[in-house]
Amino acid sequence: MNQKVFSDGLKRLRAEKGYTTEQIVAMLGVSPACVYRWEYKNTLSDSMFNEFLNKNF
């Protein structure tokens, strides 16, 4: 998965489910800055994204 796909996918799924950044932070046990980087800086984390998908979708 490339960084752009990851970033766009996370933003899309978060919007579809109505999750806030704070809810994503709590679900994954990461910092708000980490979620921000994933969504806006196109920083890739396949393992965390896969964990998020497995838990919530």
Residue position matching structure tokens 């766009």: 8
Residue 24 pLDDT > 60? yes
Instruction: Give the domain range for residue 39.
Output: 3-56
CATH number of the structural domain spanning residue 47:
1.10.260
Residue position matching structure tokens 């984390």: 45
- How many domains does the chain fold into? 1
Section 5-16 average pLDDT = 82
Mean pLDDT across the chain, nearest whole number?
78
| Residue type at 51 in one-letter notation | E
Q: Is the pTM of this model over 0.85?
A: no
Could you please report the per-residue DSSP string of 3-57? HHHHHHHHHHHHHHHT--HHHHHHHHT--HHHHHHHHHS----HHHHHHHHHHH-
